[in-house]
Amino acid sequence: MSATAATAAIFASSPATRNPGRSPARKPRNPIFLRNSFASSPSSRSSLFGRTFFITNRSVHGSTRRSSLSTTSIRPFSPVMEWQDCTVKMEMDVPISVAYECYSDREAIPRWMPFISSVKILEDKPDLSRWSLKYKAFGQDIEYSWLARNMQPTPNQKIHWRSLEGLPNRGAVRFYPKGPSSCLVELTVSYEVPQLLVPVASALKPFLESLLRRGLERFAVLAKSY
């Protein structure tokens, strides 16, 4: 049956129907026809949530009574997946062009970011790089890795990336001029909380923000001598 003609009939059987030996089966007195309001919309058919079903009670005498049933109160299923966003910013006493060029050196990031142990740019695909994270926190040794793609940057304004495999994450660094020899650097990192760290998820965000802030402090010192 096609979606555009999605009509189902639910027949309530009479006592005679349940016991055919007693008397011939009779025509159901009150068939209920259920027709959903989104049958004609392909995009709407992908979800039942927030839709209205129209129920028509049709008797053998020809009279009808129509009522509706909304599914708005039904909570849609969603997988357990928590993302967190961390943003830190810092003013630096270097021209915006210097800060941008210094941050563009991805393989140098482990020199100033506390929890990044290595970054390796792929020789045949320079927009891709492999990252490794190693840090001891919350009473355990934490190690993760991922393959990231640097998206098209905006010179002296924005560098952004997203992971393709491994630890799911994405982020951006934005540069704002503050004067001829100073700028504001804003770093935003978004990540899916690893299953291992779900029990400490509430403490993870402020902890990572402190590490990012410490990293930008080191970056500001490195950029002065870049």
- Please give the pLDDT value at position 169: 98
- Please give the pLDDT value at position 134: 96
State both tokens at 184: 């504001």
Give which of 155, 160, 143, 157 is closest to 106, Cα–Cα.
Answer: 160
Q: What confidence tens digit (pLDDT) does each residue in 150-195 have?
A: 999 999 999 999 999 999 999 999 999 999 999 999 999 999 999 9
CB neighbour list of residue 6: distance below 8 Å, 6 or more residues apart = 35, 36, 39
Sign for the pseudo-dihedral over CA of 109, 115, 118, 124:
negative
Sign for the pseudo-dihedral over CA of 92, 96, 98, 104:
positive
Indicate the average pLDDT of the chain: 78
Q: What confidence tens digit (pLDDT) does each residue in 24-64 have?
A: 555 544 443 333 333 333 333 333 344 444 444 554 455 55
Please state the rounded mean pLDDT for residues 120-147. Answer: 96
Phi and psi at residue 25, to the nearest 5°: -65, 140
HSE (CB half, 13 Å, CA atoms) of 175?
A: 27
